[in-house]
Structure formats: structure tokens, C-alpha cells
Amino acid sequence: MRKKIVAANWKMNLSLAEGKTLVEEIKAQLPALNENKLVVISSPFVHITQTAAQLNGVAHVYTGAQNCHQEASGAYTGEVSASMLNSAGVNYVILGHSERREYFGENSALLVKKMNQVMANGMKVIFCCGEPLEIRKAGTQNAYVQTQIEEALFGYTAEQMADITVAYEPIWAIGTGLTATSEEAQDMHAHIRSVLAGKFGAAVADNVSILYGGSCKPSNAAELFACKDVDGGLIGGAALKSTEFLGIIKAMSEA
């Protein structure tokens, strides 16, 4: 049975005190979770030891990070390695987010190196993919996302795919208030699963959780999460307010 996951991506937001309060508010009202219905909270690097300590002993809620460096260690001033994240209590690392691809020039070759580091250090990857608006307008989004998946994931083994969650995030929906319709999301998620099935086999593809990201909120989460191939969400803006994030977790826990 593949897992349903709601993952917060705080991006570059919140002071340490604000992050602490937010996690406490979430913990206080968590809906029922289990080993197949999980939450991940991906805070900025400086928050991680605090977030991990707050989540210590909280069942089925995991600590995430939003990036890591592609090398194991060394003279990379200002960077953070996968082994450091692991030592700080991180379980999941978001990689391939469109903001990292766009503002930091991250391409598939670099992402493969980063994913290798994350998995070599015993953590799981949340791999983001998704098309810009002009590609969606041209109707070539399936080929675009397929290329992202092929370039980044096809070098892995079927066993390694157990450590990779995919997040489909249409760039035109991230932080814009525009959301993919449930049909658009389902179509793309089914396409991603069929691409993975073509490479790794149906059984492996069936076990990969594919999250939707892009202006997901309590009002649209239930409809999105009801789609056959939508296994939860990667949440930006709505993860910064406990009531909104809890509403999305509730939608996932009831899906």
C-alpha cells in the first residue's frame, strides 16, 4: 500500500520562535495518522534541530529539509551536507523544487548528485517536477515532465525508488492561487505513474507516492486527494498557518 503524505515546505519564512509555535500548534491538533498516512515538516536549515526535537516521539510526523549540497563534505562555504542533515534528525529532503531550478540553476545532473547524497545518508527524497505556464499552454506538459523524470530518476534501481516520493508541482500554480483542477492533477499523476511503470514495472510504480503541489489549501485538498493517483500534497503558503495546514492534513487523513 503506498503512503499518503502531506509535506510542508516553509521555504525562507518564519523566525525560530514562529516556527516553534507553528509546530506546537500542529502537534496539539493532529488528526489520526498511521504508517501509511504521514506528515513531513520541511523547515529552513537553522530551524531543523529545533523542529526535529519538537517532533521527536510524535508518531508519523517527520522532519524535512529543503535542500542539501551535492558533495559529502569539504570547502563549500555556506553549504549544508546530507550527512549533517541526517545527524540533525532529518528524514526527508525536498529536491528539484522549481524555485531551486529557476533561481539557483539546478539541473537534472546536479539533482542526481544531491539525491545520491540524500539516499547514501539514509534519508528519503521528495523529488519535485512540473511544467511552466508556456508549456502547459502549448499542451506539451506530459513530455516536459517525462523528461524531468527520465533525466533524474531513471538511473536508480527499483529498490531505490522506495526512497523517492515524487511531487508534481505545475509552476503556474505555485504561490499564485491558481490550482490545477483535479482532472489536470489526476491526468499528470497517472502519466507520471505510467512513465515510472514503463521503467521500473507496475508494482514499483504503484508504490511510489505522487504528491500534488501548487496552491493546495483546505478548500481544495479533499477533492485533489480523492483522485486515484494523487497521494497527498506538498504545501507552501498554506503550511505557514496551523489551521490551514491542519485542514489539509485532515483531508489527507480522511482520503
Closest CA to 211 of 156, 178, 155, 249: 249
Among residues 47, 97, 189, 191, the one annotated as catalytic is 97
Of the pair 93, 238, the CB lying nearest ligand PEP is at 238
Residue 180 C-beta: closest distance to ligand PEP, Å: 11
Of the pair 149, 216, the CB lying nearest ligand PEP is at 216
Contacts of 160 by beta carbon, 8 Å cutoff, 6+ apart: 119
Among residues 169, 189, 191, 244, the one annotated as catalytic is 169
Residue 87 C-beta: closest distance to ligand PEP, Å: 25
For residues 38 and 7, give the distance between their C-alpha atoms in angstroms, rounded to a whole number.
8
Of the pair 82, 180, the CB lying nearest ligand PEP is at 180
Binding footprint of ligand PEP on the chain (CB under 6 A): 9, 169, 174-175, 213-216, 234-238
Tell me if residue 184 is catalytic: no
Residue 245 C-beta: closest distance to ligand PEP, Å: 10
Tell me if residue 18 is catalytic: no
Catalytic annotation, residues: 97, 169
